[in-house]
Amino acid sequence: MQTVRQALQNSQGAQAATARKAADFIEAHYTEKFSLDRMAAALFINKIYLAKCFKRVTDSTLLQYHNLVRCEKAAELLRTTHLSIEIISGQVGYATASHFSRTFRGVYHCSPMEYRKGKTGRAL
């Protein structure tokens, strides 16, 4: 199974270019609340077309990718700092630590604390 980033890198054509623009936008704005309307407006692309292009190219939704990027950034902070889970959740854009923990578990198949203690989680 191809990861989202591999799909973005290996795909060609107009839809792939649109999907890469969306991924770049998410990576630049991952700490902000996800908004398809705002993203589409910033990229000057119809929001339905944008969502469909991304799904066709990556087999993932834009929101799933947004959460993946946030969790990857959080995982890096968990590995390299002693910041609390609450602080890390806020730094990567989550309003509550509980929402962050649920999302992190969905991506890495372990809690943020388990990840910090060395359980090897793996992003999808």
Check pLDDT > 90 for residue 59. yes
Check pLDDT > 90 for residue 113. yes
Q: Which two tokens stand for residue 33?
A: 């609340």
pLDDT the model gives residue 124: 45
pLDDT the model gives residue 1: 36
The whole domain housing 112 covers: 66-116
DSSP-assigned letter for residue 31: T
**Overall number of domains in the chain:** 2
Same domain for 50 and 90, yes or no, is no
Same domain for 46 and 71, yes or no, is no
The residue behind tokens 């609340």 is 33
Check pLDDT > 90 for residue 76. yes
Same domain for 71 and 58, yes or no, is no
Please check whether residue 109 lies inside any domain of the structure.
yes
SS3 content of the chain, % helix, strand, coil (to 5): 70, 0, 30
pLDDT top residue among 19 and 121: 19
Same domain for 8 and 58, yes or no, is yes
Please check whether residue 19 lies inside any domain of the structure.
yes
Q: What pLDDT band is residue 11 in, cutting at 50, 70 and 90?
A: confident
